[in-house]
Structure 1
Amino acid sequence: MWWEGFVLPVPVCGQPSASSARVGIGSAAAAAAGTQGVSLLGSGRSTLPARAGVLAVTAALLTAGTALLASPADATVITSVQSTSWSYTDSAQPRKSFVDPAGDAPIGAKVTADHQKHVSKSYFTFDLSGLRGAKVISAELSGKETAVADCSAPRGTELWVTAPAKNPPTWDNQPRELSKVPGPGSLDACPSDYLDWDAAPALQQAIDAGRTSLTMVLRLPDDQQHNPRFGRAYRPMLYLSIQKNQPPVTPSALKTGTHACAEAPLVRHGESTMSAAVSDPDDPDFSAEFAWWPVDHPDQRATGTRGVYSTTTSYDPDAQLADGVTYAWQVRAYDSLATSAWSETCRFTTDFTAPATAPVITSADYTYEGPGKGGTGIPGDFTLDARGDTQIAGFQWNVGDRDSGYVAADRPGGKATVRFAPRTDGPMSMVASGVDVAGNRGPSGEYWFLVAHNGPSMACTPAQAYLGETRQCQFSPYGDNGATEYLYQIDNGPETTVPAGPDGTATITVTPTDAAKRYDVSVRARMTNGNLSSAGYSQIPIDRGLPVVDVPGGVMTAHPAVFTLHATLPGSVSFTYDWDYGDPVTIPVGPDGTAQVTIVPAQVGQHWLRVHTTTGAGLVSATNEVNIVADTNGPTITSVEYPKWSVGAYVTTPGTFTFSSPIPGAVSYTYRYRGGDPVTVPAGPDGTASAVLTPLTVDSQYLNATTTFADGTVSEAGYYSFSPRSAAPPLTCDATGDVRPGQVIHCTVTPVQPGLASYGYVVETASGPGPDVTVRPGADGAGAFEVTVPADQTQYVLSVRAWSANAAGQRTDTSYAGFWVPAGTSVSRGTAAI
């Protein structure tokens, strides 16, 4: 609970403590605390022992003024209020008031050294202005004794509420004592560092009476007041520790949507949100209740609640509202213990029905026919017509994403004129919707129109010039639009403004120096109406001095090629070139404006030669990038029987392969066939050589060769690929699919191979391949043979492969036939095995 641990060190008797105040609660809280074994009311002191070194948390709160502690159980807070002033009276000086003097507060009688008796009461005033409207749950007033005449005498100090007084009290003019406050509770110590009274009833009564201050008097009972034995002194400060709740403040600053309460607006869907400013002196977590009802039917009052977590709250009743109804609404705030008064009453009327008619848009200034009218920045009038739909009070229009607005109709269902200046040229459209008084938008109408191009023109003098030569370029307005200034950019650089002369033209001076720039010019005119025209686009024509490159014929690898460079930019003193984007090389321009470069291409294929010139003034010309294809210096290989990349003669057919060099001086050629050992053949008088090769498979065949020249150098390799045609003899048999053990299969092979001398075949059974068998061709060139299916094998594929051979014994590729021998079969009757 909140009071646990709020125990302060008890000072030694007679020694005041600056931190001796304690927080207590009144009777209601004490009842709740009974199970804790701690008495916190004015009827008794805490039974918890005082221990030196216990942190004086409550004392710190009290001396700090007013402290707020959130109660975990409800909306109450604990606040501490200390007396704002004090005074005392003295019977020895009955007409004098002692207000906020130094020293302690005297209670009862004492006799001074001059044998004079002084009887005193001490008054303490509290400021209640911050507790207006509060519900006091508990309140404990506490004080501290600083001196006691006789600790053996019973303690009889009383606390009374006094009537308000206009003047400070004196002994002869004491305020009326209205009611005695129960207490005090006391400790066994004397003097006591903590005495407490249950001040809740007295405090509530003062708040309910609207008092902004409360004065209490500490005094002794009449039977003790004049006896010096009972005299006492108190610290001149009393404390009220209050558990209280104040109702939330009545909501204010009411709005319907964005409209203040007094406006009573007409609202459409989504604009009826009710909002208000709210606050609660005690509880940051409270709620607001909104109520609304048709003005004509207050019995249909509806409510909605929102939690409050800020200084404003809102509620949107949109889904519960009917169309065309005037509603009243108000709001109040509440916490768990108190509710504010209802706010003022606001009104709004719903209008959820949008206009049904799409406006018609027309314009005499801008139409869609012809090449377009007006121009960028030229205003034109557009008429929007509601076509008699009296719901339409105005029009919402837009052209593209940048231009939009609202214009009121001349009457409900009437017309309005929009004066609009296009920002760009070309086809455009205006879209407009009818809007009613509540802001509901109806269907839209659309109007397309063409805007004429009215960008300024540009002409340069001289019309054509080299890089580095100064140009005068003049801007002129379009038609009769006139111009006061021009805004131009070159190659998307910064926009520059130049004033126009009396004739509406302006001239700029430009000296192009960078061959890499385009020198594109974009220019707009500030017309005499103050608007900007369309942009005019042009380019300053420049001869960038592109050098010319003469490429020799027959460029090939490993062979020097001489390129002639020609300078065209006046004043050029050097060429800078690179080959295949390598390191640049700079050479001088000759007297005739040329230079020669010798390059030996290292690889076959495409190469790039890039060249630019530089003048004596440092101007760099455009770069000429020349694409050069270098052929190989390797030999060319040809064959009639086996053309390159094609299917040629039959397997085993000899082919003649001829080698020739694109460069004179060949003495021999070295070739490799299918990755075999190199073979060298001498070149004849015509520089060529040949070799006869016989392909023995249908696989793709590869041949490469190099040329050896008289100086001993060897060329790159030349490559040749071809494919022989299959010469496998066609194989036909009198069986297909399944066959039986012991069955005789009759097969025939027919000739394909040129120079055929014999056939051969092999049979493969479940036991593996058998021996090669030779078959002699008949008179017709065909061959026949029989195959007997083994009688003791089943469940396998019996295969037959056949080929032919020439007189040299060179075999062709093979033909194939396959048969399945299933299980559970037997020898066919009438079939004899051979």
Structure 2
Amino acid sequence: MRTRSIGTALLSALLIAGIAVTPAAAATVTDVAPTSWAYIDSAAPKASFVDHPGNAPVGARTYANGSTHISKSYVTFDLSTLRGSDFTFAVLSTAETGVTDCAQPRATEVWLTEPVRKPTWNNQPAELVKMGGPYIDDRCPSPSLTWTVTEGVRNAVAAGRPNVSFAFRLPEAQQADVRFGREYSPKMKLTLSHNKLPGKATDFTINREPCAAKPTMVSRSVNLGATVKDGDHSNIGAEYALWPVDRPDQRVTFPETGRSVGDKVWADVGRLLTGDVTYAWQVRGKDDSGGLGPWSAVCKFTTDFTSPTKAPTVTSSDYFDSEEGTGGTGVPGIFIFDAGGDTDVVGFFYTDILGRPMNAAADRPGGKAVVRYTPDYSGANTLSVRGVDAAGNGSPFTDYRFWVFRNQPEVSCTPDTAYVYAPRQCTFKPRGDTLVAGYAYRLNQETESTVSAGPDGSATVTVYPDNPDHQFWIHVRAKLSTGYLTSSSEAGLDIDPGRPIIERRTERPIFGQPVDFTLRAVLPGSETFTYSWADGEWTTVPVGPDGTAALRLNAPASGWNMLYVRSVTAQGQQSGLQYMNVDVASNKPRIFSAEYPEYVSSGGVGIPGTFTFTSLFPGVTAYTYSFDSAPPVTVPADVDGKASITFTPTKPDWTHLTVTSPLPGGGTSETATYAISVRYLAPQATCDDQGYVKPGQVVRCTLNPVQANVATFGWALENGPENTVPPGPDGTAAIEFTVPADQPSNAYLVLRLWSVNTAGLRTEVAERNFYVPSAT
């Protein structure tokens, strides 16, 4: 037996068979092998051939002696895999191993039969329902034929049978005709799609507490939980049932209301409850295909919505409100909470000054609780206490205020400031008259160490701050003569990490030239510098006799480059990390044009402009430039490293200039890009067309100049002759034209415009479109 998800062999078989399938969301697919097979033979009417070693014969075949044998074959499958499942569909498949005549159509029928044991020709099991198939397969013999047997399996399951049996036979009209005889492999396969139902729910909880034999007492917030497992590993859900124990007719069912996590399901039922009622509930699993598991056992709880009304009293002979303070940090005290005889109260809930929640049980309903509490903070403290009933309802709070004596030790360290790794002497002293036996101390999060107190109650220790990248604090607790440990006192250690000094000697770094630095050690005993430049590998150089080292570094790119440096002593002690961010200027040429400033609409087609190239990099002798995609051109630079060119735009709008320069030491500079926006100089037209024109219509337009010093305006209709008109005193010109009578409708008539200035420079052509609508 083999189990898998749908989408493999079964789905392939169904698609081959031409069956449309929409499987359940969490269907399990199981392949079942036969438990037995048999065939019967008309020539041996009383014989039964069970689990024969050959193939399964169907129809008629002629033996060598001339006798004709007619056979049917039977196969039986175990259906135990469907227990606890919703059955969906089934396919029976096998290989065709022998065919008498491939020219004859394949018509083998599969029938559901009565249970098969030892069938004979004279004692054949009843054939109950014909199954669908076989489905079309042009191969002969076919390595895989399929029949849908869903109805047969469903009938067997409904009848409560543990097995299902099928007969392979030919139709009556073909059964004795040897031309139709066939044989099949007895190694058949029944493929079952079924949805395994969720199992019975377990692990019931009420507000995350296990369900008990005695009903759990609850207040208004009630969250029911359970564990439900699903055999298909589908997304599990649940259905809950809830009812008052004494009114089962009020049973209600509802889905889980919380998000399921793994096998856990939850339901918040507080909104369904009333006070002073005992409820019963149970749950059953529900998978994502709608399959329902069995109902669980019953769990019960009782609601109580009434809170105790009387706040408890709180007393302590160890801690009370006193100007001098009592006890001390780390010193436990006894506090007594008293419910004052309110028998609803079975315990107490309390918080301290930090808001930490704590609970204590009463010695009896309405009784007391003796609580041992140890303060962590000196000075004003508060315990907020309320009585709690069995359902968790709380009484009003009582705030018990008390003053804790400040008994944390005093801490001082010398010297006040020192380099990292230098020893520091720290002295611990008791505060006031506190009797101290010793101290527990640590640096930052290190393991705590202990030291005994001297006759005067003080102690001195040596600590070694050993990390230049950390802030160091010493934490000290006093061990009192009673054995208790106080809360800690802290003192910060002022650490000089000894970061080296970085001096940049190259005043104006340029990409392609080295950058010079001087490193100066600060941490005493430094013997080497370790540095990383521009995210490169770490490199070590020695510290010179004067405590410095010279670096000459090349930047891998222009822009910001970071230098990180530490110094290291002979003992491997590292200084703090120093850094310097260096802005390395690009070596790309600088470009300037008065006539065509970058990113500014200026000039125009035919108007020349001068472009000047300079460089920050010394010794540049030439520049190579290109406008847009034109071939590059190289021009020499003068002795100052400057070169100028003249460029006359031939088109309006954006043009991009790129420039590089060969570097004196070899190689090429970075590329400079300069974008210019060439103005449109063609005239603008204001016309009386109202947005559209008609054939034969006279259109009048005023031409407004954009080009300076206009001598003439030019205009033409598309495919028409060119016309010119001089500007008037105000610089404009008026023109008129008639829309051609043969102008196509639902199209545009194009007016082309340009101008020529007094120097003979003609602008680009602008187009003005006139829409000609349909005549209808």
**Secondary structure of the residue that 2:425 maps to in structure 1?**
strand
- Residues 482-515 of structure 1, C-alpha deviation per residue, up to 9 Å, x if partnerless? 6444333334233333344444443332234443
State the match for 1:88 in structure 2: none
Match of 2:308 among 355, 360, 368: 355
Distance in 1 (alpha carbons) for counterparts of 2:344 and 2:578:
71
**Secondary structure of the residue that 1:443 maps to in structure 2?**
coil
Distance in 2 (alpha carbons) for counterparts of 1:479 and 1:759:
105
Distance in 1 (alpha carbons) for counterparts of 2:512 and 2:586:
8
State the match for 1:475 in structure 2: 428
Query: CA offset at residue 660 of structure 1?
Result: 1.8
CA contact 1:355–1:389 (8 Å) conserved in 2: yes
CA contact 1:396–1:407 (8 Å) conserved in 2: no
The 5 A counterparts of 1:817-832 are: 817-824=768-775
State the match for 2:748 in structure 1: 797
Aligned-partner residue type, residue 626 of structure 1: M
Query: CA offset at residue 633 of structure 1?
Result: 2.0
CA contact 2:350–2:383 (8 Å) conserved in 1: yes
Distance of aligned partners of 1:685 and 1:795 in 2 relative to their CA distance in 1, 3 Å threshold: same
Distance of aligned partners of 1:579 and 1:373 in 2 relative to their CA distance in 1, 3 Å threshold: farther
Distance of aligned partners of 1:700 and 1:351 in 2 relative to their CA distance in 1, 3 Å threshold: closer
CA contact 2:502–2:579 (8 Å) conserved in 1: no
Aligned-partner residue type, residue 778 of structure 1: G
Distance of aligned partners of 1:776 and 1:538 in 2 relative to their CA distance in 1, 3 Å threshold: farther
Distance of aligned partners of 1:627 and 1:651 in 2 relative to their CA distance in 1, 3 Å threshold: same
Distance of aligned partners of 1:749 and 1:542 in 2 relative to their CA distance in 1, 3 Å threshold: same
TM-score normalised by the chain length of structure 2: 0.53
CA contact 1:382–1:418 (8 Å) conserved in 2: yes
Distance in 2 (alpha carbons) for counterparts of 1:457 and 1:645:
69
- Residues 198-222 of structure 1, C-alpha deviation per residue, up to 9 Å, x if partnerless? xxxxxxxxxxxxxxxxxxxxxxxxx
CA contact 1:433–1:441 (8 Å) conserved in 2: no
Distance in 2 (alpha carbons) for counterparts of 1:789 and 1:476:
109
Distance of aligned partners of 1:379 and 1:491 in 2 relative to their CA distance in 1, 3 Å threshold: closer
The 5 A counterparts of 1:331-730 are: 354-359=307-312, 376-377=329-330, 395-399=348-352, 400-401=355-356, 403-407=358-362, 420-423=373-376, 430-435=383-388, 441-445=393-397, 447=399, 456=409, 458-477=411-430, 483-527=436-480, 530-551=483-504, 552-650=506-604, 652-708=606-662, 714-730=668-684
Query: CA offset at residue 823 of structure 1?
Result: 1.5
Aligned-partner residue type, residue 739 of structure 2: V
Distance of aligned partners of 1:640 and 1:512 in 2 relative to their CA distance in 1, 3 Å threshold: same
- Residues 171-206 of structure 1, C-alpha deviation per residue, up to 9 Å, x if partnerless? xxxxxxxxxxxxxxxxxxxxxxxxxxxxxxxxxxxx
Distance in 2 (alpha carbons) for counterparts of 1:770 and 1:367:
110
Query: CA offset at residue 605 of structure 1?
Result: 0.9
Aligned-partner residue type, residue 463 of structure 1: D
Distance in 2 (alpha carbons) for counterparts of 1:570 and 1:757:
84
CA contact 2:322–2:402 (8 Å) conserved in 1: yes
**Secondary structure of the residue that 1:541 maps to in structure 2?**
strand
Query: CA offset at residue 608 of structure 1?
Result: 1.7
Aligned-partner residue type, residue 586 of structure 1: T
Query: CA offset at residue 624 of structure 1?
Result: 1.7
Distance in 2 (alpha carbons) for counterparts of 1:393 and 1:637:
88
Aligned-partner residue type, residue 422 of structure 1: P
CA contact 1:491–1:517 (8 Å) conserved in 2: no
- Residues 795-832 of structure 1, C-alpha deviation per residue, up to 9 Å, x if partnerless? 2233435343446765556655433322226xxxxxxx
The 5 A counterparts of 1:750-789 are: 750-761=704-715, 763=717, 774-789=724-739
State the match for 2:128 in structure 1: none
State the match for 2:297 in structure 1: none
**Secondary structure of the residue that 1:442 maps to in structure 2?**
coil
**Secondary structure of the residue that 2:537 maps to in structure 1?**
coil
Distance of aligned partners of 1:808 and 1:502 in 2 relative to their CA distance in 1, 3 Å threshold: farther
**Secondary structure of the residue that 2:653 maps to in structure 1?**
coil
Distance of aligned partners of 1:757 and 1:501 in 2 relative to their CA distance in 1, 3 Å threshold: farther
Distance of aligned partners of 1:440 and 1:596 in 2 relative to their CA distance in 1, 3 Å threshold: closer
Unpaired segments ≥5 residues, structure 2: 1-208, 220-245, 249-271, 279-301
Query: CA offset at residue 548 of structure 1?
Result: 1.0
**Which moved further from structure 2: 667-676 or 479-488?**
479-488
Unpaired segments ≥5 residues, structure 1: 1-256, 271-299, 303-318, 326-348, 826-834
Distance of aligned partners of 1:408 and 1:815 in 2 relative to their CA distance in 1, 3 Å threshold: farther
Aligned-partner residue type, residue 377 of structure 1: G
Give me the identity figure in percent: 41
TM-score normalised by the chain length of structure 1: 0.50
Distance in 1 (alpha carbons) for counterparts of 2:769 and 2:565:
69
**Secondary structure of the residue that 2:511 maps to in structure 1?**
coil
Distance of aligned partners of 1:350 and 1:472 in 2 relative to their CA distance in 1, 3 Å threshold: closer
State the match for 1:94 in structure 2: none
Distance of aligned partners of 1:742 and 1:486 in 2 relative to their CA distance in 1, 3 Å threshold: farther
CA contact 1:422–1:451 (8 Å) conserved in 2: no
**Secondary structure of the residue that 1:494 maps to in structure 2?**
coil
Distance in 2 (alpha carbons) for counterparts of 1:783 and 1:448:
98
**Which moved further from structure 2: 376-385 or 776-785?**
376-385
State the match for 1:78 in structure 2: none
Aligned-partner residue type, residue 746 of structure 2: Q
CA contact 1:466–1:544 (8 Å) conserved in 2: yes
**Secondary structure of the residue that 2:532 maps to in structure 1?**
strand
Distance in 2 (alpha carbons) for counterparts of 1:659 and 1:783:
42
Distance in 1 (alpha carbons) for counterparts of 2:420 and 2:604:
67
Distance in 2 (alpha carbons) for counterparts of 1:821 and 1:448:
94
Distance of aligned partners of 1:791 and 1:392 in 2 relative to their CA distance in 1, 3 Å threshold: same
**Which moved further from structure 2: 582-591 or 506-515?**
506-515
Query: CA offset at residue 697 of structure 1?
Result: 4.1
Distance of aligned partners of 1:802 and 1:266 in 2 relative to their CA distance in 1, 3 Å threshold: closer
Distance of aligned partners of 1:322 and 1:780 in 2 relative to their CA distance in 1, 3 Å threshold: closer
Distance in 2 (alpha carbons) for counterparts of 1:450 and 1:664:
80
Between structure 1 and structure 2, the one with the greater Rg is: 1
CA contact 2:218–2:391 (8 Å) conserved in 1: no
Aligned-partner residue type, residue 751 of structure 2: V
How many residues in Structure 1 have an aligned counterpart in Structure 2? Answer: 490
RMSD of equivalent CA atoms: 4.9
State the match for 1:188 in structure 2: none
State the match for 1:139 in structure 2: none
Distance of aligned partners of 1:435 and 1:470 in 2 relative to their CA distance in 1, 3 Å threshold: closer
CA contact 2:434–2:480 (8 Å) conserved in 1: yes
**Which moved further from structure 2: 580-589 or 517-526?**
517-526
Match of 2:700 among 743, 746, 757: 746
**Which moved further from structure 2: 776-785 or 416-425?**
416-425
Aligned-partner residue type, residue 631 of structure 1: A
CA contact 2:347–2:360 (8 Å) conserved in 1: no
